Amino acid sequence: MNIEDSIDFEPKSKVGKRTSNRRLIGMIFLVFLCYNFVFIYGKNIIDKCNRACFSFTGELAQKTFEEKPDALAATQVASKTPAPPPKEPEKKYSGIDHAHPVTLDLKKTSPPVIPMCAGIPDFDSPDIPEFPQLRTYKGEEWSNERTVIKMTCDGENLYAYFKCFDASPKNIVTEYSRNQGATAAWMDDSIELFLKKDQISPNYCQYIASASGVSLNNCYASGAMPFDFKDVKNPVDFQYPEFEVYVMPDGFEVFMTIGLSNVGIEQPLKPGDKILMQISRNYRGQKENGAHLQLFPNYIYGDTRLPMDNHDRRTFILVAIGQ
């Protein structure tokens, strides 16, 4: 018997199939690696492209609930660069006689009235009046982009709606909060709402919503100067606000639901009651071409000797609750 007869050779057809399978597996693995590489290192570019496309069709809608302290801390740790806190006026302004502020003699803003409404309102209703238009912090009229503001109150909660019109939504600034976390929301195209119970209340709250969908709230204690403040911890029974942000082809919309007990209002508000308020819109955020808009302009209600400051409590004006 020949030696070759004693060896069981594998058919060539099986060897060919096995080689083809290995090549197929290798190709699939290579495609998988390429896919991972693209989506790991190009996810930011892909995300920006998607948002740019969806924003023109109105399909991009974001709904967020205010982050709890632990979640917010995790966001800050994961951010690339810590966001700078809101700038407080330098100590040199402490030498100014703030009891006699210097202001501009311009037309003041007519205080709006917030109607009572049971439950979540329909802001399309003509029964809910619009607030006066925002102006620059120097008191100048600003007609480049309108800001529609409407609010209602059910006694215990404040419901707020903001429509920030924008002729170039592709230029809306959102990168600060995306790259640095929620503490940088005020540096984006954003809305800031300040609430204070009354003139003698020691604390007040700030609610911020960025066009990116990122939101933030802060509680502060008033300092000795009209613009001094320091962070304070949220009370144990603090009601975290609900925010909704929608990017549209003509700008972005913001909805806020805020518990009034956060600013020390223990009894439900009723018609005739008032609450201190300031509203700011950061158009183009903190970019050089940005505009700082306010409901109650700083240079009319605050002091022209100071820089623009949303925290100047002299610009917090009483707004009445209507029928």
| DSSP-derived secondary structure letter, 141 | B
CA 2 → CA 8, 11, 12, 225, 308, distances in Å? 12, 19, 21, 108, 101
Burial of 315 (0-12, 13-18, 19+ CB in 10 A): buried
- How does pLDDT run along the chain (323 residues), one tens digit per residue? 444 444 454 555 555 556 666 777 777 777 767 666 655 555 555 554 554 454 444 444 444 444 333 333 323 333 344 555 555 544 557 678 888 999 999 999 999 999 999 989 999 999 999 999 999 999 999 989 999 999 999 999 999 999 999 999 999 999 999 999 999 999 999 999 999 999 999 999 999 999 999 999 999 999 988 999 999 998 888 999 999 999 999 999 999 999 999 999 999 999 999 999 999 999 999 998 999 999 999 999 999 999 999 999 999 999 999 98
What size, in residues, is the chain? 323
Q: What is the pLDDT of residue 64?
A: 43
Give strand pairing partners of 320: 113, 274
Tokens for 4?
Answer: 């070759």
> Residue 185, CB half-sphere, CA atoms under 13 Å: how many?
27
Q: What is the pLDDT of residue 190?
A: 98
Q: What is the pLDDT of residue 94?
A: 67
Decide: helix, strand or coil at residue 279.
Answer: strand
Q: What is the pLDDT of residue 163?
A: 98
pLDDT tens for 8-43 read 545 555 555 566 667 777 777 777 676 666 555 555
CA 279 → CA 44, 118, 132, 214, 304, distances in Å? 32, 24, 11, 18, 19
Give strand pairing partners of 63: 244
Confidence (pTM): 0.74
Residue 250 to residue 238: CA distance in whole angstroms: 35
The sign of the CA dihedral 79, 82, 85, 86 is negative
Q: What is the pLDDT of residue 86?
A: 55
- Report the C-alpha dihedral over residues 33, 39, 41, 46, rounded to 10 degrees: 150
Q: What is the pLDDT of residue 13?
A: 54
> Residue 321, CB half-sphere, CA atoms under 13 Å: how many?
21
Residue 64 to residue 84: CA distance in whole angstroms: 23
Tokens for 209?
Answer: 């919503």
